[in-house]
Structures are given as structure tokens and as C-alpha cells.
């Protein structure tokens, strides 16, 4: 009698699950598809960030050339207008206007390298790099000296008390 009752319980749990295994399998596939889509979106966003920063650097390089040419022409213009003023053919207002234009062009040209550096940092970050300070040689040397001193102090402890000065980590 017990045998049949165990058989009934086994058949309920193993053979008939009312679609539970199929639903769990479908759920696992859906979770997998969602994680693949999320990963794909992350990769595409990373590629987009790299491309955007590369394009920004390329545009800034062209812009720097244009501004450098504008500065050169503005300097030449100031020279010509200053000579015209000295010759008495133009007023000093023309000289001031040319100098103001030259200054504005120089200010624009000076701001571009800073923007290029910032965009370069963003590009490196988009490529997966970081700005962590590397383990400096001085710190490595100090750490090695400390290990050496600690090793000597344990050897010297057999010979009697001695003071061992640890190297400074200050940079």
C-alpha cells in the first residue's frame, strides 16, 4: 500500500509539473536575452563615446589650424594698420580695432589646447583607461628598503636591541 502512495507522490512531482519547467526555461532565456541586449547597448554606447571623442579631437585640430591662421592674419593686419597710422593715413581707432581683433583671435586660439586636452582625457576614459597614479619608483624603493630594514631588524634581534629607522614615504 505504501508503494502505491509513494508512486502517486513521485508522479505528481516528477511527471506533471503543469508547465513549470517550460516556464522556467522560457524565463531563463528571457533573462539571457535581456542581459545580451544590455551588453550590446553598453558596447554600442562605448563605441559611440570613442567615436564622438575622436571626432571632437579631429574637429579641434582643424579649428586650431584655422585660429592659428586667423592670429597670423590679425598680427599682419595690426602691423599694416600701425604703419598706416604712423604714415598718417588712418586714425588710431583703426589701430585699436585691429589690436582688439588680434586679441580676440589669440584668446580663441589659446582656449583650444585646453579643450583638446580635456577631450583627450575623455577619449582615454572612453577607451577604458583611467587616471590612477602609478606606483612610483620612490614608493617602490621605500617599500623595498622597509622590507630590508625589517628583515635586518629580525636578524639583529638575536644580537641585541638596535634601532632601525624606516625610510620616509614622503615624496
- Domain match, 93 and 142 both: no
Q: How deeply is 74 buried, as exposed, middle or buried, from its count of CB atoms within 10 A (0-12, 13-18, 19+)?
A: buried
Query: Quick one: DSSP state of residue 89?
Result: S
H-only helix segments in the chain: 2-10, 20-87, 92-126, 137-156
- Domain match, 75 and 142 both: no
Calculate the alpha carbon distances from 67 to 74, 98, 105 in Å: 10, 16, 7
- Domain match, 65 and 121 both: yes
- Domain match, 21 and 43 both: yes
- Domain match, 150 and 112 both: no
- Domain match, 75 and 151 both: no
- Domain match, 85 and 110 both: yes
- Domain match, 40 and 117 both: yes
- Domain match, 64 and 86 both: yes
The pLDDT value given to residue 122: 87
CA angle 61, 67, 70 (to 5 degrees): 150
The pLDDT value given to residue 144: 60
Structural domain that includes position 166: 135-171
- Report the CATH number at residue 52: 1.20.1600.10
Q: Which residues of the chain have pLDDT under 50?
A: 1, 153-157, 163-164, 166-167, 170-171
- Domain match, 98 and 150 both: no
Residues in Cβ contact with 122 at an 8 Å cutoff, skipping those fewer than 6 apart: 49, 53, 56
What is the total count of domains within the chain? 2
Q: What is the pTM of this model?
A: 0.55
- Domain match, 113 and 139 both: no
Amino acid at each position: 500500500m505504501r508503494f502505491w502512495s509513494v508512486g502517486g507522490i513521485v508522479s505528481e512531482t516528477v511527471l506533471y509539473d503543469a508547465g513549470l519547467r517550460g516556464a522556467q526555461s522560457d524565463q531563463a532565456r528571457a533573462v539571457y536575452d535581456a542581459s545580451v541586449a544590455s551588453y550590446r547597448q553598453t558596447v554600442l554606447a562605448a563605441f559611440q563615446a570613442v567615436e564622438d571623442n575622436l571626432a571632437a579631437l579631429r574637429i579641434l585640430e582643424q579649428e586650431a589650424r584655422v585660429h592659428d591662421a586667423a592670429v597670423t592674419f590679425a598680427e599682419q593686419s595690426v602691423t599694416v594698420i600701425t604703419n598706416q597710422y604712423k604714415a598718417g593715413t588712418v586714425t588710431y581707432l583703426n589701430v585699436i580695432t585691429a589690436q582688439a581683433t588680434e586679441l580676440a583671435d589669440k584668446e580663441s586660439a589659446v582656449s583650444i589646447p585646453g579643450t583638446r586636452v580635456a577631450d583627450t582625457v575623455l577619449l582615454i576614459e572612453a577607451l577604458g583607461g583611467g587616471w590612477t597614479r602609478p606606483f612610483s619608483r620612490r614608493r617602490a624603493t621605500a617599500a623595498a628598503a622597509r622590507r630590508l630594514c625589517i628583515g635586518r631588524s629580525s636578524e639583529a634581534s638575536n644580537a641585541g636591541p638596535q634601532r632601525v629607522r624606516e625610510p620616509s614615504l614622503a615624496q
